[in-house]
Structure 1
Amino acid sequence: MVALTLLLLCCGVGGAAANNHYKVIIVGAGMSGISAGKTLSDAGIHNMLILEATNRIGGRVNKTTFAKLSVELGANWVEGVGGKETNPIWTMVKELNLQTYLSNFDNLTSNTYKQKGGLYKKSDAKKIYDEVDKVYKFSEELSKNLTKEKLEDISVLTAQRISQHVPTSPLEMAVDYFHNDYEFAEPPRVTSLKNTQPLPTFENFGDKNYFVADSRGFESVVHYVAQQYLTTNKIGDISDKRLLLNKTVIKLNYSESGVTVETEDNTKYTADYVMISVSIGVLQTNLIKFEPDLPEWKILAMYKFDMAVYTKIFLKFPSKFWPGGDGTEFFVYAHEKRGYYTMWQHLERIYHDSYVLLVTVTDDESRRIEQQSDSETKEEIMAVLRHMFGNEIPNATDIYVPRWWSNKFYKGSFSNWPIGVSKHEFEQIRAPVERVYFTGEHTSEHYNGYLHGAYLAGLYPFSPHTFLLPV
């Protein structure tokens, strides 16, 4: 860690902050900010301050209570398990003994529903699933060849066109949605082929996904990292004075000699360096005013990357009306409007007799739903469920709709690498500007969009090649 050594030499180590001056200020206490703090602490830099806008740490790893159950509004799966390398998040989950369940999507051919009229015949559904699988494998090989020959990137949709199989029917679009949008939260026409197929998460860490369902919440892994360097009280809660909650950063003045950070309550803090760990979505807004403005190359690069929206809607019912047993946890709804309440999951396997369904929407549907009332959304969902299961099913008694896009502290769920962003432009996204450094899942070249990406980006927030600190 050459850069960290430079930081030690430039700034010194340890010591208490005086007059609100710190060696490093970290803006944001999500996984990446907390991980970056650990990196600094491990290097001997303890004179730091973490400013978090909300009343909790964890960021987009966030649980809530719904229908007396602990459910995850954001990150929910440990994606990438069982491969040649060990996913660091999986290591933490096992260390904490969090309750997890292996997600199995193999039986979707038996659980795919028409827009009206119930289930597709398994043989008809299987034919389409097999065709889409072939296109996906073709796209992976095409992506590898593009990389090998150092050719320009193309979109996932362009790869589908080259394979002469672009999804058009409701069933084809639904299966394609499962393969693409359900993973990346944006459609194939937007998503980069070279940077998503094959996906490094599954190539390196394995193709198994584990659903976290623990009353302590998936956010326990963020606390696990934080507690390795932040002090806690007798009951294990973080009490370290270097972590300040409900501190919204609204202005950041930077120069060659240091930084000044101002929060919404008119408090100013100074530091030698600042590490920005807010989402790329927040960086694309004016929530934080940079003085002077960030350079044009930085702004252009940041706006080229996408902040996708992934919305998990929870519904509670008085009784169960959907199939139960092995191979029924996930089911698909094929509608003429792509992405219209497509991906479903019942939580009976996880929470017995809970009568809770989870439906996922993304992108434009997420934004549309965030702008209407929950009662309107529930009405739409009930119409879909009645098309699937008949008119006699009971009404949902409760609904929870997260609003990631509308929340000014997130402005979306996670980043997606869109077509048109080169490796050089990606390096510009995470490159420092004088004494301002950037981290977050969007700065992880191979794992952007994932919790392990956020963690690893925080572990290595400075590259000895690109992020050498100013002397």
Structure 2
Amino acid sequence: MKRIVLIVALLASMVVVFCPPVAMAVEHNPTVIIVGAGMSGISAAKTLSDAGLKDILILEATNRIGGRIHKTNFAGLSVEMGANWVEGVGGDQMNPIWEMANKLQLKTFISLFDNLSSNIYKQVGGLYPESVAKVSLDLAEEMSEFSANISTSLSAHRQEDISLLASQRLKNHVPSTPIEMAIDYYTYDYEFAEPPRVTSLQNTEPLPTFDNFGDDLYFVADSRGYESVVYYVAKQFLSTDKAGVITDTRLKLNKVVTEIRHSPSGVIVKTEDGSVYRAGYVMVSASVGVLQTNLINFEPDLPPWKILAIYQFDMGVYTKIFLKFPYKFWPSGNGTEFFLYSHEKRGYYPMWQQLEREYPGANVLLVTVTDDESRRIEQQPDSETKAEAMEVLRSMFGKNIPEATDILVPKWWSNRFYKGTFSNWPIGVSRYEYDQIRAPVGRVYFTGEHTSEHYNGYVHGAYLAGIDSANMMISCVKKKMCKFEVKAKGT
């Protein structure tokens, strides 16, 4: 109730007042508690350790490190439930995650979306003619270029942000037919986990990940898992045994943080099992989805400007459903990796990938759903999801195809430790809100992919955000530079 009253009062005044933390006396070598052992938490911990702040304690709610980078066994295969691609490869700048993947020699495959015009299926009746599909794809490309130009113009003239959908309306073309909606989904939802009507134009067109690091993306299909990159970072500062297993006592698993008490003199962190930890500072790397729930209680409550910043961001849900079959019945070979299903209901099992290159002979398909469809599917039995997916496949390939023998439906939204897969910048969020969401509150610091100005939603965003947030803390501890200034909106 206290949060609601604070926010209502704030909105009523229509003024956001930010009071950055003042410089404070700090211990020479304070203990830092890091909440969460995903990529951003581990990256922050390593940065602190490299700077000499080795008196750290990492509290992880689950029984592993990696967070939303998580492999699992599916029908004898190692597949990724969460992050699956290294996105942004082949440009002038090196994506730090791609550099790690190369050092680890992870098994990766470039994702090829060519020939999509030959692989778009009607709701009923098989493939669209290539000529018809090409017209719709060309129009979508033209719309994307138009939106990018509008975005550049808005930024140059310091005008307010609009949605991707608004930019489509400016061009007088809103995708409405099944094929147009499927291609629109492929263009936007498949990347951002939310539809154009709620997605920021200025933060997505053009997209910094591809502009800075390159247009290529690589699918990770390695038995060691994508999480190997998190372990790669962790093992640079956490001790291991001879077998390479992390044994460092500064990492504690199965520690669900439920309360953070903070004052000018330090922090007290409580966990679900009744443990209590005291430290000089705390770095919170929980997802923005978790911060929007009551899992972690802050005492005193976070200030209104911080709460509002957290609540302004969206937590997307991106669900990769794996299906295994007794034999292959779909086209394979060059130019067949991805195919679209067009349905009158936008986002209904639209994006398919056959994984013959990634898992030869495994007869596995991957279908991606997002947003409301993800939430709907998480609330029904997997058997119903399989039945729906099979109905879609039979619409595409005929009634005589075999039944799937196995299905894997990740449920990130239902998981109280994540509440989704990655953040999406909504309309109107600018540098001002970005500074607020990453700003510390006294001795409480924040990190995560959602605090990355240009790379939110990506693994490299989480990694770079951890470094950025840790450096803010290092400046406070070592240089007594504890003020964090938020520039006025629009500057």
1:409-443 residue CA offsets vs partner (Å, 9 max, x unmatched)? 00000000000323212211111111000000000
- Whether contact under 8 Å (1:434, 1:470) holds in the other structure is no
- Whether contact under 8 Å (1:181, 1:188) holds in the other structure is yes
Q: How many residue pairs get matched?
A: 457
1:127 maps to 2:143 = no
**Aligned 1:252-331 pairs, distance under 5 A:** 252-331=260-339
How far apart are 1:23 and its partner, in Å? 1.3
1:354 maps to 2:353 = no
- Whether contact under 8 Å (2:62, 2:253) holds in the other structure is yes
1:361-400 residue CA offsets vs partner (Å, 9 max, x unmatched)? 0000000000000000001001000000000001111111
Distance of 1:322 and 1:425 partners within structure 2: 46
- Whether contact under 8 Å (1:272, 1:435) holds in the other structure is yes
How far apart are 1:84 and its partner, in Å? 1.0
1:341 maps to 2:357 = no
- Whether contact under 8 Å (1:309, 1:405) holds in the other structure is yes
How far apart are 1:315 and its partner, in Å? 0.6
Matching residue of 1:38: 46
Distance of 1:357 and 1:397 partners within structure 2: 12
- Whether contact under 8 Å (2:221, 2:358) holds in the other structure is yes
Matching residue of 1:243: 251
1:61 maps to 2:77 = no
Distance of 1:380 and 1:359 partners within structure 2: 12
Structure 2: gaps (5+ residues):
1-22, 485-491
How far apart are 1:469 and its partner, in Å? 2.6
Matching residue of 2:156: 148
Matched-pair identity in %: 67
1:305-353 residue CA offsets vs partner (Å, 9 max, x unmatched)? 0000000001111111000111111110000000000000111111111
**Aligned 1:69-468 pairs, distance under 5 A:** 69-461=77-469, 468=481
Matching residue of 1:19: none
Q: Given the alignment, which residue of 26, 30, 34 partners 1:10?
A: 26
How far apart are 1:462 and its partner, in Å? 5.0
Query: TM-score normalised to the size of structure 1?
Result: 0.95
Aligned residue type for 2:111:
S
Poorly superposed stretches of 4+, deviation over 4 Å: 462-468
1:60-116 residue CA offsets vs partner (Å, 9 max, x unmatched)? 000001011100010000000000100000000000000000101011111100000
1:49 maps to 2:49 = no
Query: TM-score normalised to the size of structure 2?
Result: 0.91
- Whether contact under 8 Å (1:435, 1:470) holds in the other structure is no
1:469 maps to 2:470 = no
Distance of 1:363 and 1:430 partners within structure 2: 25
Distance of 1:459 and 1:238 partners within structure 2: 21
- Whether contact under 8 Å (2:40, 2:466) holds in the other structure is yes
Kindly report the root-mean-square deviation, in angstroms, between the aligned alpha carbons of the 2 structures: 1.5
How far apart are 1:463 and its partner, in Å? 6.3
SS at match of 2:258: strand
Distance of 2:259 and 2:483 partners within structure 1: 22
- Whether contact under 8 Å (2:309, 2:437) holds in the other structure is yes
SS at match of 1:379: helix
SS at match of 1:64: strand
CA 1:235–1:284 in 2, change beyond 3 Å: closer, same or farther? same
How far apart are 1:165 and its partner, in Å? 1.1
- Whether contact under 8 Å (1:258, 1:273) holds in the other structure is yes
CA 1:464–1:62 in 2, change beyond 3 Å: closer, same or farther? closer
- Whether contact under 8 Å (2:48, 2:470) holds in the other structure is no
Aligned residue type for 2:265:
S
Distance of 2:421 and 2:27 partners within structure 1: 35
- Whether contact under 8 Å (1:63, 1:72) holds in the other structure is yes
Matching residue of 1:3: none
Aligned residue type for 2:27:
C
Structure 1: gaps (5+ residues):
1-5, 14-21
- Whether contact under 8 Å (2:351, 2:369) holds in the other structure is yes
1:278-319 residue CA offsets vs partner (Å, 9 max, x unmatched)? 100000000001111111111111001000000000111111
How far apart are 1:457 and its partner, in Å? 0.4
- Whether contact under 8 Å (2:317, 2:375) holds in the other structure is yes
SS at match of 1:469: coil
SS at match of 1:437: strand
